Structure 1
Amino acid sequence: MIAKTPPNRCRIVLIAPPGANAGDFGRKLSDAISGGDVASLILPPYKLDDVAFQAFAERIVPLAQESDVAAVVGGDSRIAARLRADGIHVEGGKGALADVIDRMQDKMMVGVGGAKTRDDALALGEERPDYMFFGRFGYDTQPEPHHRNLALGRWWAEMIEIPCIVLAGSSVESAATVAATGAEFAGLSTAIFADGVDAAEAIARVNRLLDESAPRFEDEP
């Protein structure tokens, strides 16, 4: 595959929805990636036990990586390591983040979520994760993003160099709302993977919206 230059604006991070079946989700993921630019995929464990989650992730991680989409595995860092994922997502607080960064950041990216306030975010940011995620997996049930996530994303993007992902809503158009905050990434799940959604067309629509309306980032010197 010929590498493409990533667009210089907010990009899409896909998030696997709760209760996803590996076979069905794999097909939807492939369709989504065929629709246009996707930066990465996060696989949260939700309520799956380690055995079931690893079985799910080991089918999905290669599908993403084969299309040059970074695969980030939530939860147990041992599963991420076994699957040779591109990253691990941590939700267990500052202590858990510090431990994973110490053990894993030289091998893969380490991202973090769970911040509900600016103080939470700053405390986690002191550990220098590779990204900050604002939102709760599985809670993109309304058309628009949660106002708190938007506010935190805007503040973080203005103040902190570490990239952030803001969870969008259940509508495709909500990605543009996220982009307007200055966040580097919009997290999309329901808007792409809900029943009846054409995942390829939804991704194409999101990229068109972002091309038309998302602020451009300054080039690195």
Structure 2
Amino acid sequence: MNDLTPPNRCRIVLIAPPLATAEHVCAAFDGGDIASLILPDNGMDDATFQAFAEKIVPVAQAAGIAVVIAGDSRIAGRVHADGLHVETNRRELAETIERLADKMMIGAGGAKTRDEALELGEERPDYMFFGRFGYDNKPEPHSRNLSLGEWWAQMIQIPCIVMAGSDLASVKTVAATGAEFVALSSAVFADGLDPRAAVAAANVLLDETAPRFED
């Protein structure tokens, strides 16, 4: 459950991994502050993905966690999600924002260079995501994502999310870039982990080490 006043530092964004059950995802919500949850389809067909999201969205929203559906605006609308995550070119991002911005937040990802990020940023998405779903299989975050996140956080007002590694301690490295959000997936949901305990531990690390933002 989130506090009414969120912490004034880098916050957690969870990304549901492949093969996770709805119950496993929801178990993380009691671990402390979570800003949002991104749900990729992870290879599920539309009906399975929608059913999966329908189990999670109301539980997350009741806990004060915004839910973002990756890639499918129809399912995002059907499950009453808070946002849509898209990885596309500038023109299609602009069309998506024009069509849906009054209904839900729109986040952008997929940029691998500063020029690509700036091009997408011209359309004013609600956030920029640096990383790739499912590629947090090393303990440390990818150096390119860290570099892009640090540059973006210093230069651009649009918030950014940077993908962490498979080790919970990597939240400290991401927070040090100045990024507003750190994305966690395998560090919370890998086999044998307690998602609630992992989120709680990540919040402790962020409380202890993350720089505070100016009001």
Tell me the distance in 1 between the aligned counterparts of 2:208 and 2:41. 34
Q: Which residue pairs with 2:11 in the alignment?
A: 11
Task: Verify the 8 A CA contact 1:165 1:184 in the aligned structure 2.
Answer: yes
How many angstroms apart in 2 are the aligned matches of 1:141 and 1:2? 28
State how far apart, in whole Å, the 2-side matches of 1:85 and 1:2 are. 18
Q: CA-atom RMSD, angstroms?
A: 1.3
Gaps of 5+ in 2: none
Distance 1:53 1:82 in 2: 11
Deviation, 1:46, is: 2.7
Per the alignment, residue 134 of structure 1 pairs with 130
2:108–2:127 Cα contact (<8 Å) kept: yes
Which of 50-59 and 38-47 deviates more?
A: 50-59
Identity of aligned residues (%): 66
Q: Which amino acid aligns with 1:6?
A: P
Instruction: Give the CA deviation at 1:47.
Output: 2.2
Task: State the Cα deviation string for residues 138-172 of structure 1 (Å, max 9, x = none).
Answer: 11000000000000000000000000000000011
Conserved 8 A contact 1:26-1:63: no
- Residue 195 of structure 1 is aligned with which of 166, 191, 210? 191
The DSSP-based 3-state class of the residue aligned with 1:12 is: strand
The question of whether the paired residues in 2 share the 8 Å contact of 1:134 and 1:164 is answered with: yes
Contact 1:90 1:96 in 2 (8 A): no
Counterpart amino acid of 1:104? L
Match of 1:177 among 157, 173, 178: 173
Q: TM-score, normalised by structure 2?
A: 0.96
Which residue of structure 2 aligns with residue 38 of structure 1?
34
1:58 paired with 2:54, answer yes
* Corresponding residue number in structure 1 for 2:98: 102
**Aligned residues of 2:2 and 2:63 also touching (Cα < 8 A):** no
Provide closer, same or farther for how the CA distance between residues 175 and 56 of structure 1 changes in structure 2, counting only shifts above 3 A.
same
The residue matched to 1:4 in structure 2 has which SS? coil
Deviation of 1:83 (Å): 1.1
Per the TM alignment, residue 66 of structure 1 is displaced from its structure 2 partner at its CA by 1.5
Inter-partner Cα distance in structure 1 for 2:52 and 2:2: 28
3-state SS of 1:13 partner: strand
CA distance in 1, matches of 2:89, 2:135: 19
Report the count of equivalent residues. 215
Instruction: Report deviation, 1:2.
Output: 8.6
Distance, in Å, in 1 between the alignment partners of 2:24 and 2:176 is 27
1:44-100 CA distance string (max 9 Å, x none): 123223222212212221121121100000111111111110000001221221111
Change (3 A) 1:46 1:28: closer
Give secondary structure in 2 for the equivalent of 1:151: helix
Give 3-state SS (helix, strand or coil) of 1:56's partner: helix
Query: How many angstroms apart in 1 are the aligned matches of 2:139 and 2:49?
Result: 28
Match of 1:29 in 2: 25
CA distance in 1, matches of 2:123, 2:113: 16
Relative to structure 1, is the Cα distance of residues 35 and 100 closer, same or farther in structure 2, using a 3 angstrom cutoff? same
Structure 1: which 5+ residue stretches go unaligned? Answer: none
SS in 2 for 1:143: coil
Corresponding position: 1:87 with 2:86 = no
Match of 1:129, SS state, is: coil
Structure 1 residue 205 displacement after superposition: 0.8
Q: Give the deviation of 1:27 after TM superposition.
A: 2.2
Counterpart Cα distance in 2 of 1:30 and 1:78:
23
Q: Name the residue aligned to 2:214.
A: 218
1:93/1:2 CA distance change after superposition, 3 Å: closer
How far apart, in 2, do the equivalents of 1:46 and 1:118 lie? 27
